[in-house]
Amino acid sequence: MIFFKKISILFVLILMLSVEVQAQEPNFSMYHYAPFFTNPGQIGAVKDVRLMLNYRNQAIEAGDNYRSSSISGYYPVFIGNHRLVIAGNFLNDQASDFVSTNGGLLGVAYSIQMSANSALSLGLQGGYFQRKTDGDFTTDDQFVGGVFDPTIVSGDAVLNQSKGYPTLSGGIYYEISDGDGREKAFIGASIFNATEPNISFADVEDDNLPLSLKATAGYRIYQGMKFSVMPTMRWVNQADNNYFNLGSRFGYELENTEEGPKGISLGLWYNTNDLGVFSIAYEQPKFTVGVSYDLPVADDLSAGQNGIFELAISFRLKRKTKAYVPQEISPPAASTAQKEPEVIEEEEEEPEVIEEEVIEEEVSEPVEEEADEPEVEEEQPLQEDTSEPENDTATEEIAEGTNGTATASPELTPAEKKVLEETVKFELNSNELTADSKEFLDKIVTILRNKDNFSIELTGYTCDLGPEKTNYELSRSRADIVSQYLINHGVASDRLTVKAGGENNPVAENDTEESRRKNRRVEFKVIY
């Protein structure tokens, strides 16, 4: 909370800046679906590969319309616990049939994961736009003797003009989510057109695209089983206009599927330009469709403030696995787990040589081997009187690397290491052990009871199907089931550590059922 207060103070300082503005920037009413025109830092909040479409149609004077069309794409790249989001946008602004603006933006935002449920994003975006006027108009100098002559080219300096200019904008955005991954609070501030480019067709010095300041904030005050309420605020300072959008978003969950929740989101805001804004959106994991309409709430509004319609569509093209390690798993442990396969591969080379040496000893000294066998048979009953009969086969296989004596060496044999490299597999949405899993765990029991100089860290994982919160809980349940099975078969509980990995650290791409099955597992890590 202290960090949140510091960020809030920074945002307030930005809002206190006084800027004289003289032109308009695209301001979509459903601004939470338009990061490029709300806050470049908000780009960092996008967690999946997405495509967004935005359209706004506003009536203006003289019976014409002002139309803004935008298409944008977002691609996140995970870097450790953080996220880099690269995005692109194309915008077409049509101010009546006379003046139009076309151009593109390239944005990049770096999201720093402050904790399991909060992130701070810093964003920067730049672009280039071409502003032009249409020449397909009839002017007075094209009439001779009261008759229109199409061969005469109009001399009007306003027609067929174009002006190109660059833009640069930046922003900061801080978000907090709850344990289920739902948005709980956010606050952000941004500066648009930082370079104040000249947009005059005649290169008039004072005709610049002015600096624009924007800020947003929201906090969810209620979350029930199905219904939620989140008051939100937006502040905009531009074109000699300083106004607020004050209101709330209301969410209702229709159902919760394996891929995520489906629901309806309603929005009600008051714009201090004497406008009321109503929006409704249907949201599900793979796409979102929303519409809004701005209504006048004052009698003296001009035609330019009536009938503002807006459409927003968002598609999730590909789900990206969340990189942040939950609080129960410390970052050092996660990094060690990632490097563990390399260490195991290096250790496997030495045991192979030892195996060959053991085999040579067995060939050269067969009499000693036969003499040792009775001792093994006498010791085994004492060590296995609490184990089940089905463990005998597993014990014999593992004991082959110990010269017939289970406690001859505290070091793990090649066969034992190979067993511990394997994982316990689970079916989709299940934490139940299969017959094969139990047979495998019996081998683990034998290893742990024969070697008491190390402990085991159990980490459960899931595939990427379903909500992240559900997957995290399921992965913990799977690790608990394995731990309990080992304890029930004689392994001391203080030798076992249980952790949950959720859908993190996949060992295979989650693009087919076969690969997802590999990710539904419990891993074993030896700790000395």
Instruction: Specify the higher pLDDT residue, 206 or 137.
Output: 206
More confident call, 403 vs 471 = 471
Mean pLDDT along residues 108-115:
91
Upper half-sphere CA count for residue 106 (Cβ side, 13 Å) = 3
- Of residues 303 and 475, the one with the higher pLDDT is 475
pLDDT digits (tens, 9 = 90+) for 173-196: 999 987 667 789 999 999 999 988
Task: With a cut of 60, say whether residue 297 has pLDDT above it.
Answer: yes
Task: Report, as an integer, the average pLDDT of 357-370.
Answer: 39
* CA terminus-to-terminus distance, the chain: 39
Q: Measure the CA dihedral 386/392/397/402, to 10°.
A: 50
pLDDT at residue 278 is higher than 90 = yes
pLDDT at position 123, please?
97
Q: Is the pLDDT of residue 121 over 90?
A: yes
- Could you tell me what percent of the chain has a pLDDT over 70? 69
Write down the pLDDT at residue 358.
38
Overall average pLDDT of the 192-201 stretch: 84
Give the pLDDT of residue 264.
96
Q: How confident is the model at residue 59 (pLDDT cuts 50, 70, 90)?
A: confident
Of the candidate ranges 48-52, 208-212, 280-284, 359-363, the one whose mean pLDDT is the lowest: 359-363
Judge whether 415 and 400 are in contact, CB under 8 Å.
yes
Closest CA to 183 of 130, 233, 219, 214: 219
Which residue would you say has higher pLDDT here, 387 or 431? Answer: 431
Which stretch of 259-263, 299-303, 481-485 has the lowest confidence by average pLDDT?
A: 299-303
Residue 461: phi and psi, rounded to 5, are: -140, 165
Among the residue ranges 30-34, 53-57, 296-300, 410-414, the one predicted with the least confidence is: 296-300
Q: What pLDDT does 74 receive?
A: 97
**Amino acid in position 278:** F
Compute the average pLDDT of residues 236-262.
86
Three-state SS at 429: coil
DSSP secondary structure code for residue 208 in this structure = B
Given the DSSP bridges, would you call strands 496-500 and 455-460 parallel, antiparallel or unpaired?
parallel
- What band does 299 get if pLDDT is binned at 50, 70 and 90? low
Q: Is the pLDDT of residue 69 over 90?
A: yes
Which of the four pLDDT bands, split at 50, 70 and 90, describes residue 17?
very low
Going by pLDDT thresholds of 50, 70 and 90, the confidence category of residue 114 is confident
Query: Is the pLDDT higher at 355 or at 452?
Result: 452
pLDDT of the residue at 431: 81
The reported pTM is 0.59
For residue 136, which amino acid is it?
D
Residue 244 has pLDDT above 90, yes or no: yes
Higher local confidence (pLDDT), 254 or 154:
254
Burial (CB < 10 A; 0-12, 13-18, 19+), residue 282, is middle
Quote the pLDDT of residue 417. 87
Average pLDDT, the chain: 76
pLDDT of residue 1: 47
pLDDT for 331 beyond 60: no
Percent of the chain beyond pLDDT 90?
Answer: 35
Q: Which helix (H) or strand (E) holds 156?
A: none
> Of the ranges 143-147, 361-365, 396-400, 457-461, which one carries the lowest mean pLDDT score?
361-365
Cβ–Cβ under 8 Å, residues 292 and 275: no
| 298 confidence band (pLDDT: 50, 70, 90) | confident
**pLDDT of res. 87:** 97
The pLDDT value given to residue 162: 83
What is the average per-residue pLDDT within 453-474? 87
CA distance 328 to 324: 11
Question: Would you say 87 and 299 are in contact if contact means Cβ atoms under 8 Å apart?
Answer: no
- The three-point CA angle 508-509-511 to 5° equals 135
Indicate whether 22 pLDDT > 60. Answer: no
Which secondary-structure segment (H or E) carries 118? strand 118-133
